[in-house]
Amino acid sequence: MRINKIILISIMMLFSCLASPELLYASAKNCGCTICRELHEAKPQMQGEDVLELQCRLQQLSFFQGTSDGIYDKETADAVRSFQKAQKQQVTGRVDQATWTALGKGCESPATALPKSPPDNVNIIVDLERLTLTVREGERDYYEFPIAAGKPETPSPIGEWKIVNKAYDNSGPFGTRWMGLSVPWGSYGIHGTDRPWSIGSSASAGCIRMFNEDVNQVFEWASEGTPVKIQAPFSWMAGCCTRTLEKDASGPDVVYAQLLLKETGFFPYDCDNWYGYLTELAVRSYQLHHGLPTTGEVDEKVLMHLEEKVGVFEQS
């Protein structure tokens, strides 16, 4: 009996560890925002999005006058040295976490009074056009925060998702908190940042960046299972569907079709990327209502019909 109790306690401790925020944070590092390397002069020259962000920030601060091309060349290294000297840091020409932190000084979230009581029935709306994250209490807007979202070449995932895990850390590209989303085609989340100057722009690899002070607050209000709707004008997704959609298909193009169906009143469910029975039924209902062949599939003709009904290209 004593042995069984020891085994049971051991199993409980194991599951507790597996569910710990520290380990969930480690799993979050599969997202595209996780480039966290020390930048320096090298042969071949280092290059990437992190170098580009560095150059843009140094340019904002008037330390870099060259071309922001994502290549860590001598001119970039010299600009880093000038910045480090101005900050009274060790002048190395190397960009480590301390340098990233110094680059973010003065970009903290503006101090504003938050509501005294936490919201009930929390859901979140991320508006990619306005670059805002709104915490809602049921149908009522509760508090709005500024964000950075994905670049055009690495867009944030439009659709209706849920928070599936939460984690925390004290430094690095995720900032202080991470909330993973249920997007099936990649690792995306809402998180803090060590590059606060990017807030208010389309600068990420697809995740939703927030000021660390702000994401800490949202982290307290939201829980696993909290709905997160990421929205943008329909015209932003036009052109993403280049195939005929049928049952069991998945992907951003399915989300687009579901959003169009929802807008026309035929799909009252979450736009979750899966072309299941309910999506097929909605397509058949739409086709029947509009005198189209009831195939249950979204081909080019059906898609164009949906886009016309919604007025997608009138939004451009």
CATH class of 234-314: mainly alpha
Map residue 281 onto helix, strand or coil: helix
Whole-number Å distance between alpha carbons of 228 and 182: 9
The Cα–Cα gap between 257 and 94 comes to 47
Q: Out of 1.10.10.10, 2.40.440.10, 3.10.105.10, 2.40.50.140, which CATH number does the structure's domain 122-231 have?
A: 2.40.440.10
User: How many whole angstroms separate alpha carbon 267 and alpha carbon 159?
Assistant: 13
* Catalytic residue IDs: 191, 207
Closest of 184, 162, 173 to residue 212, by C-alpha? 173
pLDDT given at position 17: 44
CATH topology agreement for domains 122-231 and 234-314: no
Q: Label residue 91 exposed, middle or buried (CB < 10 Å: 0-12, 13-18, 19+).
A: middle
Nearest to 202 by CA among 136, 96, 127: 127
Which residues does 20 contact at the CB level (< 8 Å), separation at least 6?
Answer: none
pLDDT at residue number 37: 85
Q: Which two tokens stand for residue 180?
A: 């993973």
CA angle 147/256/302 to nearest 5° reads 160
Q: For 227, phi and psi rounded to 5 degrees?
A: -70, 140
pTM for the whole structure:
0.82
The per-residue pLDDT for 315 is 63
* Rounded-to-integer distance, Cα 296 and Cα 279, Å: 8
User: Beta strand pairing status for 202-204 and 149-150?
Assistant: parallel
According to the model, what pLDDT value does residue 314 have?
78
Dihedral, 236, 238, 243, 248 alpha carbons, nearest 10: 60
**Token digits of residue 55:** 């150059």
Compute, in degrees rounded to 10, the torsion defined by CA atoms 70, 74, 75, 76. 40
* Nearest by Cα to 126 from 170, 163, 164: 163
Backbone φ and ψ for 117, nearest 5 degrees, come out as -105, 145
Which parts of the chain are beta strand (E)? 122-127, 132-137, 140-146, 149-150, 159-168, 177-181, 189-191, 202-204, 208-209, 227-231
* Eight-class DSSP state of 198: G
pLDDT at 10: 46
Per-residue pLDDT of the chain (316 residues; tens, 9 = 90+): 555 544 444 444 444 444 444 444 444 555 656 556 899 999 999 998 889 989 999 999 999 999 999 999 999 999 999 999 999 999 999 999 899 989 988 887 776 777 777 889 999 999 999 999 999 999 999 999 999 999 998 999 999 999 999 998 766 778 899 999 999 999 999 999 989 999 999 999 899 999 999 999 999 999 999 999 999 999 999 999 999 999 999 999 999 999 999 999 999 999 999 999 999 999 999 999 999 999 999 999 999 999 999 999 876 5
Enumerate the domain spans of the chain: 49-95, 122-231, 234-314
Question: Given CA atoms 224, 225, 226, 230 in this order, what sign does their dihedral have?
Answer: positive
